[in-house]
Every structure is written in C-alpha cells, then in structure tokens.
Amino acid sequence: MKFVDEAKIELHAGKGGDGVAAFRREKFVPKGGPSGGDGGRGGSVFIRASRDINTLLEYRFKRLFRAKNGENGQGKDCYGKSGSDLVLEVPMGTLVYDDQNNIVVFDLKQDGQKELICKGGKGGLGNIHFKSSTNRAPRQFTFGEVGETISIRMELSVLADIGLLGFPNAGKSTFISAVSAAKPKIADYPFTTLHPHLGVVRSGFNDSFVIADIPGLISGASDGAGLGHQFLKHLQRTKLLVHVIDIGTDYPDAEELARNANDICHELQKYDVALFNKPRWVALNKMDLIPEEDRDAFVTEVTTALSNGLASTDKIFPISSVSGLGTKSLIDSAMEYMSRIKQEDKTTNTNSLNKV
C-alpha cells in the first residue's frame, strides 16, 4: 500500500433541514391547527484514529468530504430525519491542523479516539412551535442552520518510542526484524525501505516499546539527496534515537566511520535542532564481519573517534542484527530507559495535575 503522510482536505457538515408550516386537514376537525414539524439536524463530521490504518492515502485524491443534510420537516407533526454523521478514519499519530490559522486542533494518539471537527446545523422549527393564545394558526417556521465547514491539513507523525536512523544499508530493517515482529523488506541495496515501519519490542509480560524504522538518510538529504529528509518527521515524537552504523566494508577506518556518522548528525541538525538534541545511542552493526579478537580494540577506536564530533553519544552498542550478537543488551538498556522515561512522564503529569 502506498504510504502517504500528508493531506489537505475540506470538510462540510450537513445543513439542518428546514422547519415547515402546515395545517391539520382532517374530516370533521375544522381549523385543525398547525402541524408543521421541525427539520432534522445536519450530520456532523468526526475524525477517529484507528490502529488498523497506517496511511493518509485515502485523503490524497478525494479532497471534499460532506456529511448528509438533515431532511426538512413535514406536515402531520412529522419531524425531518437527521443527516447521518461522517466519520473519517485516520492513522494513530495524525495531527490535524486548521489550515487557515495553522493551529493544531487535534492530536489523535489513542486508538478509537474520536473528535468532532464540524458540527452539523440545527434543524429549523416547524410552525407547531409558534402557536400561542393569540395566534392559533401561525405561518412562521425557521430555516435549518448551515453546517460548519473547515479546511484541514493532516500530518502523520508515527507514534514510536525509539527511532532508528542511519545510512541506507546500515541494517536498520534487519535490526527491527530481529527484535520485533515487524517484517520490512531487507536487501543489500540502498533505499530498500521507502516508508516507516513500526515494530513492538516486548520483554516479560508488561514491558514493551515501539520502535520505528525509517528510510535511510544520506549526506545532502536536506537538499533532496536520496529520499530527502522528510521522513525524519516520524522521529520527532520519539524519546530516543538509535543511530545504526554499518561497520562493514564501506568504512575502512574508525575516523572515516565517525566522519560519516557526523554527516548524518548534520542532516539531523539541519532538519530540526530538537531532534538533533534528543538522546542518541549508537549501534555499531555487522560486528560479525570483524574477527572476534579485533572487536574490542575496534570498538574503543570508534568510541574515541565518535567522541570528538557531532555523533558523540552516551552509549555505544556493538551488535550484529544477523547473528544476534549484542542485540539483547541494546534492547534491555532501551527497555530500562523507556520505563524510566515513562515513570518520569507519569510523575510530571501527576505533579501538574496536583497543582491545578
């Protein structure tokens, strides 16, 4: 399925049905009095997040969405039928902007979260409401109200706790396949991954976190090189980045490897300083390609080279996504880190609630 993470659409809620002026006409009931019913309410437009959807593709080609109008009232005290609501389903992690004012109106994070975005118009009143002691045959009625309309921009920023980044071919997809049930395509050519994939990493009964694999990044991505850097937005909500570095044949020595790693960090910095400032760990992948006796020395050398530049990091994990070497240690540390962050978030939320 094509992955689309941005869409602009226009929403129209339904108009309320008009009230009606009618009079009872029955045999043997002279001057039967008013009997015009109210118009039905116009349908509203809702947006609902669903875990079963992972793209905004549906909103790429169709631009205008309308809920149904309410039906007009009728004689014999009949009320018009309400227009049915329209519910647009979007992936979890969709940010909805009011396009005109450029403000976020909803951030749909929870599965099933449903928000009213355009309210349907109220139905008009039939003449039965205007009867009074001085006016027994009112001809007044009111028209239904128009429904609300809005132009929105939707942006999907996938919800993941940890994001993988790195050059194409570094082994990001191999890593996520090794540690979760996600099965992105893996191949020995660059840019195999064309859109983000999410994987859930579990440990024990309760502990889990979500990891995102995004397309590879290359130097000059901010100027459009490779697949560009627009996919970095999918890392914006993560709590931790794991920079996957290929220590295989492409990198002859530790210094060059660090320079290449710095290039990626530069791209990150150019895209968004907040993203650049997120905690970032390094996974030195494909360690199986280095003879066992040389591994420790190599890791020390790389650690020193990295510590001199942008790519400096507080943790380095030598791993092999193919053989499984070191992946458990990385996952255990990530699990511990995430539970600490979640605990801190909970405490902050409780404290702010107590202050209110």
Ligand X SMILES: Nc1nc2c(ncn2[C@@H]2O[C@H](COP(=O)(O)OP(=O)(O)OP(=O)(O)O)[C@@H](O)[C@H]2O)c(=O)[nH]1
Please report, as ranges, the residues that interact with ligand X according to CB under 6 A. 166, 168-174, 186-188, 190-193, 215-216, 285-286, 288-289, 320-322
Q: What are phi and psi of 27, to 5 degrees?
A: -60, 140
Between 41 and 172, name the residue whose CB sits nearer to ligand X.
Answer: 172
Q: Which is nearer to ligand X, 255 or 288 (CB)?
A: 288
Bridge partners of residue 154, in order along the sequence: 7, 96
144 is in the binding site of which of Mg ion, ligand X, none (Cβ under 5 to 8 A by kind)?
Answer: none
Task: Give the shortest CB-218-to-ligand X separation in angstroms.
Answer: 9
Judged by beta carbon, residue 187 or residue 297, the one nearer ligand X is 187
State the helix-helix crossing angle for 172-179 and 327-355, rounded to 10 degrees.
Answer: 80
Residue 3 makes contact with Mg ion by CB under 5 A: no
Q: How far is CA 245 from CA 166, 221, 265, in A?
A: 6, 17, 12
Total residues interacting with Mg ion, rule: CB under 5 A: 3
Q: Are 204 and 250 in contact (CB under 8 A)?
A: no
Its sign, for the CA torsion 246, 250, 253, 255, is negative
Q: How far is the CB of 222 from Mg ion (least distance, A)?
A: 20
Q: How far is the CB of 145 from Mg ion (least distance, A)?
A: 52
Residue 285 binds: one of Mg ion, ligand X, none (C-beta under 5 to 8 A by kind): ligand X
Of 74 and 320, the one with the shorter C-beta distance to ligand X is 320
Shortest approach of ligand X to residue 111 CB, angstroms?
A: 27
Shortest Cβ 169–ligand X spacing (Å): 4
- Name the residue nearer to Mg ion (CB basis): 35 or 174: 174
Decide: is 193 part of the binding site for Mg ion (CB under 5 A): yes
Q: Which residues contact 224 (CB under 8 A, 6 or more apart)?
A: none
What part of residues 224-263 is at the interface with Mg ion (CB under 5 A)?
Answer: none
Distances from the Cα of 182 to the Cα of 173, 200, 267, 333, angstroms: 9, 8, 27, 20
Q: Is 192 in the site for Mg ion (CB under 5 A)?
A: yes
Q: Which does 190 bind (CB under 5 to 8 A by kind): ligand X, Mg ion, none?
A: ligand X
Distance of CA 341 to the CA centre of its chain: 21
Name the residue with tokens 């907040």: 274
- Comparing CB distances to Mg ion, the nearer of 67 and 211 is 211
Question: Rounded to the nearest whole angstrom, what is the least distance from the CB of residue 325 to ligand X in the complex?
Answer: 8
Residue 75 binding partner per list ligand X, Mg ion, none, with a CB distance cut-off of 5 to 8 Å that depends on partner kind: none
If the CB atoms of residues 98 and 288 are measured against ligand X, the closer one turns out to be 288
173 binds Mg ion per the rule CB under 5 A: yes
Residue 174 contact, options ligand X, Mg ion, none, Cβ 5-8 Å cut-off depending on partner type: ligand X
Residue 200 interface partner, choices Mg ion, ligand X, none, CB cut-off 5-8 Å depending on type: none
Q: What are the backbone dihedrals phi and psi of residue 28, each rounded to the nearest 5 degrees, phi first?
A: 65, 10
Give the strands of the sheet with 197-203, arranged side by side: 197-203, 207-213, 162-165, 240-246, 280-285, 316-318
- Contacting residues for 313 by C-beta, under 8 A, at least 6 apart: 243, 280, 281, 282, 306
Residues 92, 77: Cα–Cα separation, whole Å = 45
Q: Smallest Cα–Cα separation from 146: which of 9, 13, 44, 10?
A: 13
Does residue 190 interact with Mg ion by CB under 5 A?
A: no
83 or 166: whose CB is closer to ligand X? 166
Which residues would be at the binding site for Mg ion (CB under 5 A)?
A: 173, 192-193
